[in-house]
Structure 1
Amino acid sequence: MFGYPILVFDIETVTDVKAGSQLYGLDLPLDDAQQALNKLRRQEAGTEFPRTPLHEIVCISGLWIDQDKFQLFSWSRENFSEIEILQKFVGIFEKKSPILVSWNGGQFDLPVIMYRCLYHGVTAANLFEQGDWNPQKRHNNYQNRYHARHTDLMDVLASFNIRNFQKLDDVAQILGYPGKRGLSGYHVADYVKQQQWLDLSCYCEGDVLNTWLIYLRWLLLRGFIQQAQHQDWIRHTILYLQQQPQHAEFLEIWQKTCLSTVFTQSDFN
């Protein structure tokens, strides 16, 4: 139906304290350096959210959809170093050329991945190819925001206008989906510090699932799928999640939130 495999993805990050300390000339214990970096960032930008090069990836989650596969996956720091996570992710694009789907992936996720590949010396030729070596990818690559090779839903739904950008959580809830279920990215550092790896991967996969559900609605809006196909995919997603115990809460909340709109009321019928 889609023509290509689809990869819906999301990343979770923490501050790279080592790189930040090097940048600002800090010689402090880890916790003190973290606090100092937070203070410096608040002074710079009014937020503790780090500059793009100072994000360290602790988890990449994805949903892979192909003719014979529908599978959630996560690679976290529980089992892999950051460089191994990057190598696994960019390795997908050496073997396949999926349609990439994200929420804010063009503004955040891919730039962070690019900087971390630079930091670790990881080659990601196909992911960051822009037509220099392959002319066919000059106007059909993962960096071009106006083509479907990478569909950044936040960007697309805003008509590529920053003033119209919306939060994933808000759009998901408006459309009758679970959203972040009261969680936020501020929990990520605590998950890592306390080694709550299942909570981390579930949180990241939750963002992936919300993005997937919004993407299905986007495909319906564009006429790429019809309503019957949309409902088939909704049922397929529900049946799959019923076999994933870690997402029982996501399903439970979805059963409630779907009642908030006429269009989604029949999701679980």
Structure 2
Amino acid sequence: MSLSFATPVMVFDIETIPDIEGGTRLYDLKGLEPAAAAKSMFQMRLQKTGREFLPHHLQRICAISVVLATREHIKVWSLGDESSDEAELIQRFYDGLERYSPTLVTWNGGGFDLPVLHYRTLRHGIAAPRYWEMGDEDKAFRYNNYLSRYHWRHVDLMDVLAGFSPRANAPLDEIATLLGFPGKMGMDGSKVWEAWLAGDLAGIRAYCETDVLNTYLVYLRFEAMRGRLGEAALSGELQRLKDWLENAEGEHFQQFLKSWQG
């Protein structure tokens, strides 16, 4: 059986920064500059949990990047532009979901990306009926929806490949590298806040785009592993992505292609 993308595939990833506004409300940080407020939030989190990583509800989305693969085309981009606020990014994400009803693909999306989206969608009062469909309006979603862990409308590759056991989780960078793909290139999630403070949103968006590229490449291998992508079809999809990258604007795309082919 060959994968024909009769159902579009949407690989996505988010990048986040501390929700300074939310932290100020919760912890009375009024008057502090963003860097100082974030430092206070990190310190409180460290004291509480032993690590600085903020909880999902105090993460603010600053970038959402996507690989969209359909029968007709493939495209890699970050939603909105550098002037788009968080609400616009989230709205654009759900607009794509409403339009395509795609198979969502993530790496640790169930553990991070989707819960963050839930809280931020709630915060901004955005409606997302297709995402929350459980079969009440569309019967096809009753036994295959975006929310149930063991369904296929959302494929969290990290969770699936680990056999749904957190003890077996692996980092995307290491799995991609083991498979011969580029892996992380320059930035990682721990550097996003620093890049944001330096005004390098373009760099954050570029980094997020390379993450979804790695995730998509792992997904193709996964589909081949479970028999939904034959050898010829896999080669065809890999070549289609290479062709897109060759013509894409953006130094990071050219670096990704060079690293992949090298």
Q: Which runs of 5+ in 2 are unaligned?
A: none
Percentage identity across aligned positions? 39
For 1:157 and 1:241, the matched residues in 2 are separated by 27
Partner of 2:20: 17
Shift of 1:132: 4.2
AA at the equivalent of 1:108: F
Q: Does the residue aligned with 1:242 lie in a helix, a strand or coil?
A: helix
Greater alpha carbon shift after TM alignment, 110-119 vs 137-146? 137-146
Contact 1:59 1:77 in 2 (8 A): no
TM-score, with length taken from structure 2:
0.93
1:26 aligns with 29
Decide which of 147, 160, 164 is 2:164's aligned counterpart.
Answer: 160
Match of 2:166, as an amino acid? Answer: I
- Measure, in 2, the Cα distance between the counterparts of 1:74 and 1:182: 18
Which one of 137, 140, 153 corresponds to residue 149 of structure 1? 153
Structure 1 counterpart of 2:221 = 217
Moved more, 22-31 or 217-226: 22-31
CA distance in 2, matches of 1:84, 1:240: 26
- C-alpha RMSD of matched pairs (Å): 1.5
| 1:87 matched to 2:91 | yes
Per-residue deviation, residues 230-269 of structure 1 (Å, max 9, x unmatched)? 111111111111112421111121123xxxxxxxxxxxxx
Contact 1:9/1:62 (8 A) holds in 2: yes
Q: Which runs of 5+ in 1 are unaligned?
A: 257-269
Q: Counterpart amino acid of 2:207?
A: Y
- Measured after TM superposition, the shift of residue 148 of structure 1 is 1.2
Provide, for residues 37-95 of structure 1, a one-character-per-residue CA deviation record: whole Å limited to 9, x for no partner: 01001112222211000110000000111122211121256121111111111111222
Task: Determine which of 200, 203, 207 is the counterpart of 1:199.
Answer: 203
Query: Does residue 100 of structure 1 match 2:97?
Result: no
Pick one of 249, 254, 259 that aligns with 2:255: 249
Task: Report the TM-score when normalising by structure 1.
Answer: 0.91
Q: Quick one: distance in 2 between partners of 1:10 and 1:148?
A: 18
Q: What's the CA shift string for 1:183-209, capped at 9, x where partnerless? A: 211221222222223211110000000
